[in-house]
Structure 1
Amino acid sequence: MPERHWIDLKQDATSGIETMRAHFEGHAYDPHWHDTYLVGITEQGLQQFNCRRQQHNSTPGKVFLLEPGDIHDGNAPHADGFTYRTLYLDPHWLDRELHAQFEEAPHNAQLGFAATLADDSRLAIATANAFEALHNDELRIVRQTALDNLLSNLTRHLHWRALISPDPRLPLVAQRARDYLHSHLHQDIGLDDLAAVTGVDRFRLSRAFKAAFGLAPHAYLIQLRLARARRLLARGELPVTVAAALGFADQSHLGRWFQRAYRMTPADYRRRCSILPD
Structure 2
Amino acid sequence: MTAENRHWIDLKRDADSGIESLRAHFRGHAYDPHFHDDYCIGYTEQGVQQFNCRRQVQRSTPGNAFLLEPGEVHDGEAPQQEGFTYRILYLPKDWVHTQLNGLFDTLPDQFEWHVDATLSNDRRLIGSIASAFLALHQGESRMVRDACTDQMLTQATAHLQWRKRSEDPRQPQLAERARAYLHDHIHQDVGLTDLAQTLNTDRFRLSRAFKTAYGLAPHAYLIQLRLTQARRLLALGQTPAQVAADLCFADQSHLGRWFRRAYQLTPADYRRRCTDLPD
- After TM superposition, the score normalised by the length of structure 2 is 0.97
Aligned-pair CA distance for 1:118: 0.8
Aligned-pair CA distance for 1:274: 2.2
CA RMSD of aligned residues (A): 1.2
Q: Which sits farther off after the overlay, 207-216 or 101-110?
A: 101-110
Q: How do 1:1-278 and structure 2 match up within 5 A?
A: 1-3=1-3, 4-165=6-167, 167-274=168-275
SS in 2 for 1:64: strand
Identity of aligned residues (%): 62
SS in 1 for 2:170: coil
Looking at structure 1, the residues matched to 113 and 154 of structure 2 have their Cα atoms a distance apart, in angstroms, of 15
Aligned-pair CA distance for 1:276: 6.1
Looking at structure 2, the residues matched to 203 and 117 of structure 1 have their Cα atoms a distance apart, in angstroms, of 35
SS in 2 for 1:43: strand
Aligned-pair CA distance for 1:85: 0.3
Aligned-pair CA distance for 1:111: 1.1
Q: Which sits farther off after the overlay, 191-200 or 84-93?
A: 191-200
Aligned-pair CA distance for 1:2: 4.1
Q: Paired residues, what number?
A: 277
User: Quick one: structure 1 residues 277 and 268, their matched pair in 2 at CA, closer, same or farther if it must change by over 3 Å?
Assistant: closer
Aligned-pair CA distance for 1:275: 6.2
Looking at structure 1, the residues matched to 88 and 198 of structure 2 have their Cα atoms a distance apart, in angstroms, of 38
Q: Is the 8 A contact 1:176 1:197 kept in 2?
A: no
- After TM superposition, the score normalised by the length of structure 1 is 0.97
Aligned-pair CA distance for 1:104: 2.6
Structure 2: runs of 5+ lacking an equivalent:
none
Aligned-pair CA distance for 1:107: 2.4
User: Quick one: structure 1 residues 160 and 275, their matched pair in 2 at CA, closer, same or farther if it must change by over 3 Å?
Assistant: farther
Looking at structure 2, the residues matched to 33 and 55 of structure 1 have their Cα atoms a distance apart, in angstroms, of 16
User: Quick one: structure 1 residues 5 and 276, their matched pair in 2 at CA, closer, same or farther if it must change by over 3 Å?
Assistant: closer
Looking at structure 1, the residues matched to 227 and 78 of structure 2 have their Cα atoms a distance apart, in angstroms, of 24
Looking at structure 2, the residues matched to 52 and 255 of structure 1 have their Cα atoms a distance apart, in angstroms, of 28
Structure 1: runs of 5+ lacking an equivalent:
none
Question: What one-letter code is carried by the residue in structure 2 that aligns with 1:22?
Answer: A
Question: What one-letter code is carried by the residue in structure 1 that aligns with 2:213?
Answer: A
Looking at structure 2, the residues matched to 38 and 53 of structure 1 have their Cα atoms a distance apart, in angstroms, of 18
Looking at structure 2, the residues matched to 264 and 172 of structure 1 have their Cα atoms a distance apart, in angstroms, of 36
